[in-house]
Structure 1
Amino acid sequence: MRPGHLRAEHVGVAVADRDLVRDVVLDVTPGEVVALTGPNGAGKSTLLRTFYRARRPTSGRVLLDGEDIWRMSGRRLARRLSAVVQEPPGEFELTVYEVVAMGRSPYKRAFQGDDAADRRIIMDALDALDVTALAQAPFDRLSGGEKQRVLIARALAQRTGTMVLDEPTNHLDLRHQLDVLRLVRGLGVTAVIALHDLNLAAAFCDRICVMRAGQVVADGPPAQVLTPALLTEVYQVAADVHAHPRTGVPQISLHPDQESPS
């Protein structure tokens, strides 16, 4: 898995004359892990959809290793970029193993079965997401958190050098939130991860890109981006930012008893 170079060049998305994303430039170098953050409605998910070709930009383009993703075949892109999306999946009449095995589809001809190498990759992905015991369980009967881990395992089985993850910690308990982000961090892949939890973003990501109203308003290392002034401006909250006593990364403490700044 060779890490890719993912770049958004002046990407814009408009729907019914409303700009959901405006002139976004984002350059993610090979092996870099970038958190995409911002309040609800900031345009994070819309921007990510342009990365995995679920939505064509109205303006600008998305490049992977210098090549416009819309000029690639779907199979070729799927061998290089995998996505974990936020939209609830359809009710699959498949087992957990079969859902994760779908990650091997870009490498197969139609109706080709799994070989020994595929099965090893699938089982490794199940194990990495702590869902091996659920391998033969019906996917549609799982809890929200279990489904989320299975879908991340499917992306892992895809074995791509670039990953796009839209709120991958959604529905997960504390342990599995940490496990998932440690896993992505340790893969050595290029990753863009939409996260609401800024403390997790600071702990696991090289950079934090903050969006508001469809635009990037801050982009840089966590210690540079996460300031009380930015939190007030973007999130309308009062907060302290201090260094974690063990890791030194910035940690945010909200003021729950204080009125939100106007």
Structure 2
Amino acid sequence: MTAPLAGTLQAERVTVVIDGRPLLEAVSLAAAPAEIVGLVGPNGAGKSTLLRTLYRARRPTSGRVLLDGEDIWRMPGRRLARRLAAVLQETPGDFELTVYDVVAMGRTPHKRAFQGDDAADREIIVGSLAELEAAHLVGAPFDRLSGGEKQRVLIARALAQRTGVLVLDEPTNHLDLRHQIDALRLVRRLGVTTVVALHDLNLAASFCDRLHVLNAGRTVVSGPPGDVLTPQLLADVYRVDAEVVEHPRSGHPQITVLPDSNPEKWRADDLDFA
């Protein structure tokens, strides 16, 4: 599947405050054309909040988000949707939609009001499902799918949008191991600029060009996986003892958490779940 020209995506000192509580504090992030930037950190670190600012679901309290150098809040919504697509953790409600209907939503930014699908749209919709090995689901009711099937359909919807920038919030959630790898390989093959939140650090190390680590709403470090994923960082940010070695075949960092480490040294009052 041919993707549009990859763009650039930047967050400049983004701060988000809700009800007086800071969820993000002066976070900056940059994704270059065709680069995959992984957003990692413990639960409550601010990953989803930052992603929401990137796809304009939440306006920053201060700071700004730039797509190809342009403030996304100054862009018409349709033009933004032609250039940036998102896969969220939340799925559509249990409406009576088929899989085709859900994926066809990705074509909406490219159409006039009330314009139906033409042959080119249908080819893109079915082709996007085929990329995720889900073409056989095209006529199925979306609300009757398994969690993994729904996730693949939502990724297909983002592909159908045909943008040069993707923002993905836990896209491997609910997917089995093979489909996790297939989905991330597809993102790499597309060659689009991607910011992706991932919990699995070994997957992030394998597929991301750079990692951006958040904790308690602040940037901890950003850089290549081999520089970022150290035992000290895992201890400081995740409160675990772990070994990090270079995988002998891939050359990527491989993390093994040591289950026999002493949990008492991670005192509850040291943890910040903001």
Shorter-normalised TM-score: what interval? Answer: over 0.9
Q: Give 1:92's aligned residue.
A: 95
Pair 1:56 & 2:98 matched? no
What whole-Å deviation, never above 9, does each CA across 1:77-124 have from its counterpart, x for those lacking one?
Answer: 000000000123211311101111110000001111111111111111
The separation in 2 between residues aligned to 1:51 and 1:205, in whole angstroms, is 18
Match of 1:178 in 2: 181
Q: Distance in 2 between matches of 1:259 and 1:3?
A: 46
SS of 1:19 mapped into structure 2: strand
Which residue, out of 77, 95, 101, partners 2:80?
A: 77
Taking the aligned partners of 1:88 and 1:155, their CA distance within structure 2 comes to 13
| Aligned pair partner of 1:122 in 120, 125, 130 | 125
Q: Deviations over 1:127-169 (max 9, x none)?
A: 0011111110000100111101000000000000000000000
Between the aligned partners of 1:78 and 1:92, the Cα distance in structure 2 is 23
Q: Does 1:4 align with 2:10?
A: no
- Unmatched runs of 5 consecutive residues or more in structure 1: none
Counterpart residue identity of residue 257, structure 2: L
* Equivalent position amino acid for 1:131 in 2: A
* Equivalent in 104, 109, 122 of residue 107 of structure 2: 104
Identity fraction in percent: 69
Aligned to 2:269: none
Query: Root-mean-square deviation (CA), in Å?
Result: 0.7
CA distance in 1, matches of 2:17, 2:92: 25
Distance 1:113 1:89 in 2: 21
Q: Deviations over 1:47-84 (max 9, x none)?
A: 00001111000000000000000001110000000000
- Aligned twin of 1:24: 27
Q: Helix, strand or coil: the match of 1:257?
A: coil
Q: Counterpart in 2 of 1:237?
A: 240
Are 1:155 and 2:151 counterparts? no
**Take 2:10 and 2:183, find their aligned partners in 1: how far apart are those partners?**
24
- Unaligned runs of 5+ residues in structure 2 are 267-274
**Match for residue 220 of structure 2 among 217, 221, 228:** 217
Secondary structure of the 1:118 match is helix
Task: Tell me which residue corresponds to 2:209.
Answer: 206
Q: TM-score, normalised by structure 2?
A: 0.94
Q: Does 1:254 align with 2:265?
A: no
Alpha-carbon separation, structure 1, partners of 2:243 and 2:218: 25
Length-normalised TM-score, structure 1: 0.99
Distance 2:12 2:257 in 1: 35
For 2:271, the equivalent position in structure 1 comes to none
Provide the rounded CA distance (Å) in 2 between the counterparts of 1:155 and 1:92.
19
Other-structure match for 1:197: 200
1:138 to 133, 141, 147: 141
Alignment size in residue pairs = 262
